[in-house]
Amino acid sequence: MIIVGGVKVEYSVKVDAFEGPLDLLLHLINRFEIDIYDIPVATITEQYMMYIHTMNELQLDLASEYLVMAATLIQIKSKMLLPTYEEANDADLDMLEVEEDPREELMQQLIEYRKFKEAAIQLRKLEENQSQVYTKPPSNLQYLAEESNVQNDQGGLDVSLYDMLSAFQKLMKRKQMQKPVQARISRQDIPIEKRMAEIMDELQSIKGRKSFYELFPYYERDHIVVTFLAVLELMKENEIVVEQQHNLDELYVSYRERDEEA
């Protein structure tokens, strides 16, 4: 719930970075360096459900296919708990039908999805390279190369929405651990536009980057959620830069200079 023009309205965010449940599963597999041919179902199901709960908590648009995948993971996890052939008695072996690994179908889907995702990345790179080709008589394009180098040096958004959700999970745990045992909390509704403006002013004033967690100075849940949604909106509007040096490292937020948009 946020305040817009003095009126309380429900606020939901639709983020284009979500490409489906297979994309989320593949992200988890890469993030935790899991062998796609031997997926630990219990671990991947736990991590998947954490992301689902986080998206629900933030009121992000959640397609039904995410819930279908959650049910599928739980079903596979249940099958994995059944006794294996090694655990069965010799007398029972003849009665057991040979069944394939319950993870097999999901594994094949992930492998195929990864192939298409990698192909899409290669095609996007080819498109970007092709966009640099000009059909015109030879001329001095050195200035274009210099501009391109400047943009590459400045970098861009190198974290995904999944990284942002993971940072939000860690943030909520930190705030819960640091929260005073006794506190007097007064409810204060904050318009998301106001919080966006506050974040921009804060980043512009320090003229440098700021830790993602430092943007959340208060323990109130409403303030934390509104701040996180404000950061997502600023990312979508290309007003800020969010960087991460290595996988699982802390996120840093900085103000995007206007000349970076060129």
Q: What is the pLDDT, as a whole number, of residue 176? A: 66
pLDDT under 50: residue ranges of the chain:
1-5, 7-9, 11-16, 93-96, 143-144, 147-157, 181, 260-262
Q: What is the pLDDT, as a whole number, of residue 255? A: 83
Say if CB 242 and CB 213 are below 8 A apart.
no
Say if CB 111 and CB 36 are below 8 A apart.
yes
Do residue 104 and residue 190 come from a single domain?
no
Q: What is the pLDDT, as a whole number, of residue 137? A: 62
- 152 domain residue, yes or no: no
Do residue 121 and residue 166 come from a single domain?
no
Do residue 125 and residue 163 come from a single domain?
no
Q: What is the pLDDT, as a whole number, of residue 59? A: 66
Say if CB 120 and CB 39 are below 8 A apart.
no
Q: Which stretches does DSSP call E strand in the chain?
A: 2-4, 7-9, 210-211, 240-243, 252-255
Q: What is the pLDDT, as a whole number, of residue 75? A: 93
Do residue 33 and residue 125 come from a single domain?
yes
- 243 domain residue, yes or no: yes
Do residue 167 and residue 127 come from a single domain?
no
Provide the token pair at 83: 């006794």
Do residue 198 and residue 236 come from a single domain?
yes
- 237 domain residue, yes or no: yes
Q: How many CB atoms lie within 10 A of CB 191?
A: 16
Q: What is the pLDDT, as a whole number, of residue 179? A: 58
Do residue 125 and residue 162 come from a single domain?
no
- 162 domain residue, yes or no: yes
Q: Which domain holds residue 244?
A: 158-262
Do residue 125 and residue 178 come from a single domain?
no
- 7 domain residue, yes or no: no
Distance CA 158, CA 169 (A): 19
Distance CA 225, CA 218 (A): 11
Do residue 20 and residue 127 come from a single domain?
yes
CATH code where residue 186 lies: 1.10.10.580
- 253 domain residue, yes or no: yes
Q: What is the pLDDT, as a whole number, of residue 101? A: 86
Distance CA 87, CA 93 (A): 10
Q: How far is CA 202 from the centre of its chain?
A: 24
Query: Could you give the 3-state DSSP secondary structure of residue 252?
Result: strand
**3 state SS for 25-74:** HHHHHHHCCCCCCCCCHHHHHHHHHHHHHHHHHCCECCCHHHHHHHHHHH
Which one, of 79, 100, 103, lies nearest residue 25 by Cα?
103
List the end-to-end C-alpha distance of the chain, in Å, as a whole number: 35
Confidence (pTM):
0.61
Q: How far is CA 123 from the centre of its chain?
A: 23
Do residue 127 and residue 170 come from a single domain?
no
Give residue for tokens 């999944």: 162
Which one, of 118, 87, 111, 96, lies nearest residue 38 by Cα?
111
Do residue 24 and residue 123 come from a single domain?
yes
Q: How many distinct structural domains can be found in the chain?
A: 2
Which one, of 169, 163, 160, lies nearest residue 57 by Cα?
169
Q: What is the pLDDT, as a whole number, of residue 182? A: 52
